[in-house]
Amino acid sequence: MIYNYKLENLDCANCAREVENEIKKLKGVNSCSLNFFTLKLKLETENEITDDFFKLILKTAKRVEPDIVIKGIK
């Protein structure tokens, strides 16, 4: 399944790369790409993203960039 998110409070391209690399390591994530210039995160997962899995993604991102906000795109 593919999910797209809009990010806020991401300060630098290096942090974006680190966030992307850490999310890629999560079990269940097939691919992850984060575009710093558009502040968009694209995730491909094995299964539907549950609230608990989304919280894990957010927690992982916040380890790199504590002020990051991730919002779903409809």
Average the pLDDT over 63-67 and give the result: 95
Q: By residue range, what is the domain housing residue 50?
A: 2-72
Give this prediction's pTM.
Answer: 0.91
Which among 67, 61, 57 is positioned nearest to 11, based on CA atoms? Answer: 67
User: What average pLDDT does this structure show over 11-22?
Assistant: 95
Task: Identify the CA nearest to 51 among candidates 35, 72, 73, 30.
Answer: 72
Beta strands (DSSP E) in the chain are 2-8, 29-35, 40-45, 69-72
Distance, in Å, from the CA atom of 2 to the CA atom of 32, rounded to the nearest integer, reads 10
What CATH code is carried by the domain that includes residue 20? 3.30.70.100
C-alpha 49/C-alpha 9 separation (Å) is 23
Domains contained in the chain, number: 1
